[in-house]
Amino acid sequence: MKLATYAGSAGPQTGLIVGDTLVPTGLAHDMIGLITDWEELRGQLAEKAASGAGIPLADVTLLAPVPRPGKVFAIGLNYADHIAESKMETPEHQLWFTKAVTSINAPFAPVQIAKGTATVDYEVELVAVIGKRGRHIRAADAKHHIFGYCVGNDVTERFWQHRTRQWSLGKSFDTHAPIGPWITTADEIADPHALDIRCSVNGEVRQNSNTSHLVFNVWQQIEHLSTAMTLEPGDLIFTGTPGGVGAAMDPKQFLQPGDVVRCEVGGLGAIEAVMEAEA
């Protein structure tokens, strides 16, 4: 199934994506509640999806599928070509940073270039959405803890990222974590390590790879993160970006107001943002 959060008449609501339509779930649950109660709800939701009572997607404003996750973690330097272009060594240990939960943004909303900044960059990523709560999850069991997947853009303010050794501030500006367009449940993705992943700016393809090139795969990432902390329903894991970021171009190409950034992952759909200067 494909599950979205959208702007309903009385605030954010959840819906099922069926073809080019959205079928409201009619549930009071937000997405984290829906993920938490999934085993009880999935049967009735599958019936609802088959009912055909959808609203055309063109008439719907999609919000971030998980508007306020409990946590957002992202791994750095996790595709060989991105490590090479960054002139870094392949990390011996997984390199993790957080993105503030307030950086979450809707899949088609504008992304801000904040006041006083000029080095904003894109990073298309496969995002895993945690389903079942867990700690000390073994890689072999990790797939049972994933609810589904969506597309993310780990938007980064490069100057803020690199002027200190800790990356989190440069990764946490408001609007810098657009995700969506919806969550595709894990049962619909035969292999998350075989998905085409692509980013274009104003129609020019900048990143074009496949998740088969991850250095640390999604299962290893969940094992490693859950060694330290409990993963909970709705937590988001950005799994790394391939080569082709603007900071590695010669000359460097940072995003400008009006630029259109499109990120897509095979089978998961696409998200798209117009860059705008912070008012």
From the list 133, 114, 122, the residue with the least C-alpha distance to 71 is: 133
Binder among 154, 232, 235, 264 for Zn ion (CB under 5 A): 154
Looking at beta carbons only, is 23 or 120 nearer to Zn ion? Answer: 120
Of 46-54, 97-105, 122-130, 187-195, the segment contacting Zn ion by CB under 5 A is 122-130
C-beta closer to Zn ion: residue 18 or 151: 151
Size of the site for Zn ion (CB under 5 A): 3
Separation of alpha carbons 219 and 43, rounded Å: 27
Determine the residue type at 156.
T
Q: Which of residues 231-250 bind Zn ion (CB under 5 A)?
A: 241
Q: Is 123 in the site for Zn ion (CB under 5 A)?
A: yes
Residue 272 neighbours by CB distance under 10 Å: 17
State the minimum distance, in angstroms, from the CB of residue 22 to Zn ion.
Answer: 29
Which H or E run includes 35?
helix 31-36
User: What span, in angstroms and rounded, lies between the C-alpha atoms of 207 and 197?
Assistant: 8
Backbone phi, psi, residue 12, to 5°: -60, 135
Q: Work out whether 223 is an interface residue with Zn ion (CB under 5 A).
A: no
Complex with Zn ion: residue 123 or 264, whichever CB lies closer: 123
157 binding Zn ion? (CB under 5 A): no
- 3-class SS at 83? helix
- Looking at beta carbons only, is 145 or 158 nearer to Zn ion? 158
Q: Which residues bind Zn ion (CB under 5 A)?
A: 123, 154, 241
